[in-house]
Amino acid sequence: MTRETLLEVRGLSKHFGGVIALDKIDFIVNRGDVLGVTGPNGTGKTTLFNLITGQVPPTSGEIFYNGTCILQQSPEWRVRAGIARTFQKTRLFYGLSVEENVRLGCYVHEPPGMKHVIFGSSRDESATQKERVAEILEMTGLDRYRSYPGSELSYGYQRRLEVAIALGSNPKLLLLDEPFGGQSAQSTTEMGRLIKSLQGQGLTIMMIEHRMESIVSYCNRLLVMRGGRIVIPTHRKEDRHAPN
């Protein structure tokens, strides 16, 4: 079965001063994949995410998304193009309600321009926005907490809200940075259910995860990283002979 490639990374490197965080890595992500990314701490997994979303510029290499090189594009452009992410350390708009958080997640679909500032959105446009927010709240099981401030939620719900915010931009590629990290057994199951349902909708997901059982349950492909390199699956001779 050949599937369309969504993301292709070629020879991507990132050096922070003398530290080599990523060392010429190559891989591809096909549409509909749930790609697990694992490896010891400090091997550049989060750096890889930051490079894909454009928050950090790479030292060298190329990233192709949908067949075009996106290195010159701003992080905002990439969100519009369908790349969304969550963070390892939870990031929310803590002072705002759950609903407003998701509404901000839908930011790229808000009607732009001065016209809307002065005359406001039409009834249709605000209705569409509200529908989208309601849909996401329902999908993530957050609808009953819609008027709560983000800071009031329990940790498990905060993680889910993070995913909800990321879904707001209607992404094609979702990058999840340790979505199960630090969660109770119940929240883990619910997060897993959410990821399964997203996969069912055909969303492509890259997921940083440490626990093998989660990877086995949700991922169909796996990248194992070590010292800024991908060691499994490997294409490079020196990595193939590297000691385990």
Residue 107, both tokens: 């930011």
Q: Please, what is the angle between helix 185-200 and helix 155-167, to 10°?
A: 10
Neighbours of 1 (CB within 10 A): 3
Q: How far apart are CA 163 and CA 176, in angstroms?
A: 8
Instruction: Find the shortest distance in angstroms from Cβ 110 to other proteins.
Output: 4
41-80 residues near other proteins, rule: CB under 8 A: 53, 55, 74-76, 79-80
Q: Which residues pair with 38 in a beta bridge?
A: 224
Joined tokens for residue 76: 């905002």
Binding mask 115-144 for other proteins (x = CB under 8 A): -xxx-xx----------------------x
In 10 A of CB 104, how many CB atoms? 15
Q: Which residues, 6+ apart, have CB-to-CB distance to 244 below 8 Å? A: none
Here's the x/- map for other proteins, 157-196, by CB under 8 A: it reads as x-------xx-xx----------------x----------
Is 154 a binding residue for other proteins by CB under 8 A? The answer is yes
Q: Is 91 in the site for other proteins (CB under 8 A)?
A: yes
Q: Which residue stretch of 6-14, 82-90, 193-201, 226-234 sits at the interface with other proteins (rule: CB under 8 A)?
A: 82-90
Please say which residue, 23 or 162, places its beta carbon nearer to other proteins. 162
For other proteins, the binding residue among 92, 136, 164, 203 (CB under 8 A) is: 92
| Nearest in space to 33 (alpha carbons), one of 163, 232, 219 | 219
Closest to other proteins by CB, 64 or 87: 87
Question: Could you give the maximum distance between any two Cα atoms of the chain, in Å?
Answer: 65
C-beta separation of 223 from 9 below 8 A: no
**152 lies in the binding site for other proteins (CB under 8 A):** yes
* Nearer residue to other proteins within complex by CB, 110 or 213: 110
Least CB distance to other proteins at residue 180 (A):
18
- DSSP alpha helices (H): ranges in 140-241? 155-167, 185-200, 212-218, 237-240
Interface contacts to other proteins, rule CB under 8 A = 53, 55, 74-76, 79-80, 84-85, 87, 91-97, 100, 103-105, 107-108, 110-112, 116-118, 120-121, 144-145, 147-149, 152-154, 156-157, 165-166, 168-169, 186
